[in-house]
């Protein structure tokens, strides 16, 4: 492992100012590279998993159940991941969880090539991958402010957050093309190779992941302490619950195989285009955010982005219902959803790093990961069941309207989201 750099968070003099911002810093470049590789692997795996489940069973409900299995480990391991991120070496925790996911992923091509794969294998592996990811995610997000000066935090989160959305383009597209050319088994093998490269990139980072200050223990008391702190920050708590509510009805990616086959009648490459389309919007959203710099009213950004997302979801259903032959219109609406999603995600993650001090970042971030994971898993099940009852277009319309109601109710309930202005707030560190 590379020689680690210890000490406090970097000062403003540690990196040159310029258009590349955080990407001018060596360790952030490696951090960004491992995030790129992980994001490609994660979003590619999601498409491959949905394709294989639907190919084995032909059931939209089974697609929804797949999302439920991905959610099962979120609560327990998410809380543990947050406590670990505030107690152990963050970089090592990231490496260990990445390596575990690589080993789990390497098993699946063996099952596929031997002809032994069954849907329950996929559900168990989906739970394992989700569990390892949720263990490492709080450490990953809490590690980022160590790599850049405070003035670069929003810029760094924008660059890194773009990967979460931007790899929705590359991952599914690569996955769809690989399925068409070499089959799903070799596609999963390539997926595992991406994760192995991510482990190598993380190991090359020099900045230490060791805890600053006094040693801490992983305990229920520490987890409860983080929860109590979070409840004192209305802007964070309200943003978390708003996102959870919207994603509980608005998470649509798991149903893309049914949208591709039943509504638009496109093949594996068309499916890849549908799943990748939100990333086109996320690229535009990232460019806008980078031009904006460090907007102080991030809570307002979150609310407005969720309003746009809800309207876009309903529009996707209307387009599929009335204009089912207009495949490219669906791609455009999905791109708009990606733009709204990246704005909401980036603003929320920036709030965590800027509002919460280093001592709490892992635990505060873990609650965000837990609620996001629960929302995605619940949303997968809801969209699967609703699509079975009302059809895919009807599910989008109904759920989009529900998401809009949740956004309005959340904005009225937690006024701190609207009122937060970092220009008047005391810096966390």
Rounded Cα distance between 410 and 413, Å, is: 5
Tokens of 345: 């995600």
SS3 for 194? helix
Rounded Cα distance between 2 and 205, Å, is: 7
Length of the chain: 429
Interval 359-378: pLDDT, tens: 777 778 778 777 877 787 78
Rounded Cα distance between 47 and 302, Å, is: 27
Q: How many CB atoms lie within 10 A of CB 325?
A: 8
Rounded Cα distance between 392 and 320, Å, is: 8
Residue 343's nearest CA partner among 381, 265, 400, 287 is: 287
Q: What is the pLDDT of residue 20?
A: 66
Q: What is the pLDDT of residue 75?
A: 67
Whole-number CA gyration radius for the chain? 20
Sign of CA dihedral 208, 425, 309, 407: positive
Residue 338's nearest CA partner among 261, 274, 395, 290 is: 274
Q: What is the pLDDT of residue 183?
A: 84
Q: Given its phi and psi angles, is residue 2 left (phi above 0), alpha (psi -120 to 50 degrees) or beta?
A: beta
SS3 for 207? strand
Rounded Cα distance between 186 and 181, Å, is: 10
**Residue 115: CA count within 13 A, CB half-sphere:** 0
SS3 for 212? coil
Q: What is the pLDDT of residue 423?
A: 60
Rounded Cα distance between 247 and 305, Å, is: 13
Q: What is the largest CA-CA distance in the chain?
A: 62
239 CB contacts (<8 Å, ≥6 apart)? 299, 302, 348, 351, 414, 417
Q: What is the pLDDT of residue 325?
A: 66
Residues of the chain with pLDDT under 70: 1-20, 60, 64, 75-76, 151, 162, 164-166, 168-169, 213-216, 293, 323-325, 421-429
Q: What is the pLDDT of residue 9?
A: 47
Burial 165-190 (b: 16+ CB within 10 A, else e): bbbbbbbbbbbbebbeeeebbebbbb
Q: What is the pLDDT of residue 165?
A: 61
Beta strands in 22-85 (DSSP E): none
């Amino acid at each position: 492992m590379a020689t680690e750099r210890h000490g406090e968070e970097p000062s403003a003099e540690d990196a040159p100012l310029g258009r590349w911002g955080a990407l001018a810093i060596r360790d952030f470049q490696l951090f960004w590279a491992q995030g790129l590789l992980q994001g490609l692997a994660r979003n590619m795996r999601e498409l491959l998993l949905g394709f294989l489940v639907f190919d084995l069973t032909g059931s939209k409900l089974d697609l929804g159940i797949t999302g439920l299995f991905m959610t099962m480990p979120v609560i327990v391991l998410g809380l543990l991941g947050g406590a670990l991120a505030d107690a152990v070496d963050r970089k090592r925790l990231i490496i260990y969880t990445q390596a575990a996911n690589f080993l789990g992923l390497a098993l699946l091509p063996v099952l596929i090539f031997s002809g032994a794969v069954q849907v329950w294998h996929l559900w168990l592996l989906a739970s394992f991958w989700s569990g390892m990811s949720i263990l490492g995610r709080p450490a990953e997000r809490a590690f980022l402010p160590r790599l850049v000066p405070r003035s670069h935090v929003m810029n760094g989160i924008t660059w890194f957050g773009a990967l979460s959305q931007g790899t929705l383009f590359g991952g599914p597209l690569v996955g769809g093309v690989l399925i068409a050319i070499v089959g799903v088994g070799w596609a999963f093998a390539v997926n595992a190779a991406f994760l192995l490269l991510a482990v190598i990139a993380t190991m090359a980072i020099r900045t230490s992941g060791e805890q600053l200050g006094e040693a801490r223990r992983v305990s229920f008391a520490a987890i409860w302490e983080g929860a109590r702190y979070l409840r004192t920050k209305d802007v964070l708590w309200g943003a978390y619950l708003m996102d959870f509510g919207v994603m509980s009805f608005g998470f649509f990616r798991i149903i893309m195989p049914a949208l591709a086959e039943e509504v638009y009648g496109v093949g594996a490459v068309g499916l890849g285009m549908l799943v990748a389309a939100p990333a086109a919007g996320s690229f535009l959203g990232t460019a806008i955010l980078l031009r904006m710099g460090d907007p102080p009213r991030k809570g307002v950004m979150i609310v407005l982005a969720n309003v746009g997302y809800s309207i876009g979801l309903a529009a996707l259903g209307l387009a599929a219902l009335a204009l089912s032959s207009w495949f490219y219109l669906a791609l455009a609406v999905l791109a708009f959803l990606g733009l709204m999603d990246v704005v909401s995600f980036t603003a929320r993650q920036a709030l965590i790093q800027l509002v919460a001090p280093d001592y709490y970042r892992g635990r505060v971030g873990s609650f965000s990961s837990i609620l996001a994971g629960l929302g995605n898993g619940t949303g997968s099940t809801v969209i699967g069941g609703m699509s079975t009852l009302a059809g895919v277009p009807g599910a989008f319309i109904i759920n989009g309207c529900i998401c809009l109601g949740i956004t309005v109710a959340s904005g009225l309930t937690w006024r701190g989201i609207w009122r937060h202005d970092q220009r008047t707030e005391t810096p966390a560190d």
